[in-house]
Structure 1
């Protein structure tokens, strides 16, 4: 039996005995992935409650409310009789918007005067408000265009000509890459790799940190015949295999779930996420080697990796962030992998487009590996570095 095999078996024996670490390695990731996917499985926000305050109570206002109620993603409720009660409901989050049809609305429409409705939105919740505004604006414009065309027909203008007069400028908006848009593709499929990065770091920090905490670092090195390289590879190999197996399942699941949204090469995408996980692991090793403290290593790994999604540019444009935030984002493997995700897997761009983020992750992997190896070999196997909890 080779020394490498002995080292691997030593780590597997620990996992067999420590049910907490075993669950962290095998059970935590699929549970978290399923939970995140379940949250966004609807794809798009649905049945967002909107209050209707109809102060006009006419045939035209009822027509407008019917079309607004038919708008996708909106559930129109008419139980609020005035704006003040509706605003109170907006504050308590019983609703997320108020559509007010003012008194005299039909009269303004019939006399040709500019008619206005009021849409009050709770902008604290940008996803809610933007979705409601998009759907309700479309419904209201449809009603307005219909009324305008009816007026022109009364003047003897044909419908095609009337349409061009009523709406002289059209915007041909063509959604590309996640046309839905689906929040499964936008958020679920990008938050899960963020979890991979967090777990990759936590697993290796825990695995190496406990050797230092328990004072067993010397035994760990002896099991590998005093070869630090073999000891490190054997230590992280079980976690590397498990994590990247889950990454493969993630790729296959989303490719089958929404195939129309993924036009890039799935195999290359998986290989890049393997690179991201490997980079996160070596950064985790570097952190625990630098601190030589189990608790401090876990804290720093969490501080570094947990908020990574917020800085990645996926939810908020990276170019709009302050320079300091952009610099922080640049040292996170997730930031560069998400470029691969958006450009290669979703966008279907050729491989040469994502060479830069791949090379950056590779450079981070090499640098962190060299620094981690030097720190471990220089300090980690001295008794004064052991016992810190």
Structure 2
């Protein structure tokens, strides 16, 4: 136990004394917390600029344009005479879409004939396209329903029946666990877990390859600690560090940015325990394999983006090939993101996140055991001289 505590003290000292490790584990976590969420503070896209080309120029077409402009998602910033002019504005990136109202729009609408409008929206950025198409579709559908209802009433149909005939299945959509249907509420909880994983992985990898990381500790008790005490002491040191960093990311930051917080802080911290151990163990394994600070940084730079896509929030996990989904289980963030979202955003009890909890413990045992095996192997290959 004394040897483990000696390694713990020595590793905490190295975190504070070694500039590369301190920069990643302390400075980088502060900078990420301060700046990473800022682009998403507005939550949702609003008033996306589009142009209107009105070839009908009637009361009905102007009413459609007014309703589209009144939606929170879309703003009609230009009224242009023809489609070619509007296309040039799209190419110049001054607008994100074009609403084309055809000639005889109102006449066909009043006679009960199809009166289609055309929307050309920029799909190179899917959030922009979804907001514009959703806003225009809602306005057009509402106007069409009202016109059809009025036409049926004029034909002698009772108002209640006319309303039901024009819109037989009205839909009420409720955004559960994300009241604003915002991008920040969707992205940030998962991104915080990825940031914690990436900084801890790089920091542990650097600590394992910088001077004093393998067998060169200046602390005599730490240098003479056995493999088990050495690995356990280092894991405890990383737990002490993350005991400060992780609650700030998963509890304080969601509060500061107004993200849903339905779960218990205690259960979040319980799930965080195997997550930190799994990530720390993986970092120690990678440090033992690459043995060079530069190699560690290059390795994590290469796998950072794959980890992002394997997490299952940039792309639905159901659409990821099955073999890759199985491989993603080996990445701690894959299970951690699902578990933390269940606990913090959905308000589920820890029992409902038991599969993620057990997966993280299995990864902690796997990577911790592998780190211990590599430590024993290296000590046999390079015996430590008595202090």
The 1:293/1:187 distance shift into structure 2, 3 A limit, reads same
The 1:52/1:156 distance shift into structure 2, 3 A limit, reads same
The structural deviation recorded for 1:309 is: 2.3
| 2:24/2:202 contact within 8 Å kept | no
Matched residue, 2:211:
211
- Segments of 5+ residues of structure 2 without an aligned counterpart are none
* Helix, strand or coil at the partner of 2:204: helix
Matched residue, 1:161:
161
Q: Structure 1 stretches (4+) deviating beyond 6 angstroms?
A: none
Between the aligned partners of 2:19 and 2:293, the Cα distance in structure 1 is 18
- Segments of 5+ residues of structure 1 without an aligned counterpart are 385-389
Moved more, 304-313 or 100-109: 304-313
Between the aligned partners of 2:231 and 2:55, the Cα distance in structure 1 is 72
The 1:324/1:4 distance shift into structure 2, 3 A limit, reads closer
After superposition, what is the alpha-carbon deviation per residue over 1:316-354, rounded to whole angstroms, capped at 9, x for unaligned? 111211233213322111111122133332223333221
Between the aligned partners of 1:52 and 1:179, the Cα distance in structure 2 is 31
Matches within 5 A, 1:21-60: 21-60=21-60
Moved more, 18-27 or 319-328: 18-27
| 1:344/1:354 contact within 8 Å kept | yes
Between the aligned partners of 2:149 and 2:54, the Cα distance in structure 1 is 24
Matched residue, 2:193:
193
Moved more, 71-80 or 180-189: 71-80
Between the aligned partners of 1:371 and 1:120, the Cα distance in structure 2 is 55
Matched residue, 2:64:
64
Between the aligned partners of 1:260 and 1:123, the Cα distance in structure 2 is 28
The structural deviation recorded for 1:274 is: 3.5
Between the aligned partners of 1:227 and 1:301, the Cα distance in structure 2 is 29
Between the aligned partners of 1:160 and 1:379, the Cα distance in structure 2 is 82
CA RMSD, Structure 1 to Structure 2 (Å): 2.7
| 2:262/2:345 contact within 8 Å kept | yes
Q: Please, what TM-score do these two structures have when normalized by structure 1?
A: 0.88
Matched residue, 2:96:
96
Between the aligned partners of 2:304 and 2:154, the Cα distance in structure 1 is 65
- Structure 2 residue 197 is the aligned partner of structure 1 residue 177: no
After superposition, what is the alpha-carbon deviation per residue over 1:81-105, rounded to whole angstroms, capped at 9, x for unaligned? 3222322333343322211111221
Q: Please, what TM-score do these two structures have when normalized by structure 2?
A: 0.88
